Amino acid sequence: MKVYLLTAAGVIFLSVIVSLLIPEGKLHKSVTFVMRIICIFVLLQPVTGIFKIKDASTASDDFFDYEYVSGVYSKHQSEQLEILLKNEFEIATDCDLLVEYSEGEFKVTEVEVGLEEKDKNLIQQIYAYLDGLGYINITVYAKSS
């Protein structure tokens, strides 16, 4: 409500200043008419809110495509995890992280790591390593050939 009152006062103040600065004549009448229309629209803004009349594009969730960003973030994080595991364990992996947007932030909700080798000890080491990094829902498996 405070923002609305400040906006309304600002528009009315601007309207008065513009009408004082514009010289008398046809231009003055046109500018005064336009400023009055703007003032009416600003003053009617709360009434449109009562009837829920608003443009669908003004909804705050529509400004951000969370699904697309989650997909890009998942792909990037998967690539980075592959690099990290290659540096740490000197083995090529196929990582797939699932990143979802919830509670105002992006969170990794699932991790899958595929290995070319069927080394049970290495699978356990990678699982423990990822668990130590704070990942949840971890799946480490040997890919079938």
**Which pLDDT tens digit goes with each residue over 62-86?**
567 788 888 888 999 999 999 999 9
Residues 84, 133 within the same domain: yes
CA separation for the pair 85, 98 (Å, rounded): 17
For residues 45 and 22, membership in a common domain is answered with yes
Per-residue pLDDT 10s for the chain (145 aa) are: 788 888 888 988 888 898 888 888 888 888 889 998 988 888 888 777 666 554 555 555 556 778 888 888 899 999 999 999 999 898 888 999 988 888 888 888 899 999 888 888 988 999 999 999 888 899 998 887 6
Beta-strand pair 93-102/105-115:
antiparallel
Q: Are 111 and 85 in contact (CB under 8 A)?
A: no
What range does the domain containing 28 cover? 2-54
Residues 6+ apart with CB under 8 A from 25: none
pLDDT at 69: 84
Overall number of domains in the chain: 2
* Alpha-carbon span 112 to 93, nearest angstrom: 10
d(CA 13, CA 41): 15
| CATH label of the domain that carries residue 92 | 3.30.300
* Residue 56, pLDDT score: 52
- Strands (E) in 1-145, as ranges, are 93-102, 105-115, 138-142
Question: Which of 12, 28, 54 delimits the end of a domain?
Answer: 54
Taking the CA atoms of residue 134, residue 139, residue 142 and residue 145 in that order, the dihedral angle to the nearest 10 degrees is -130
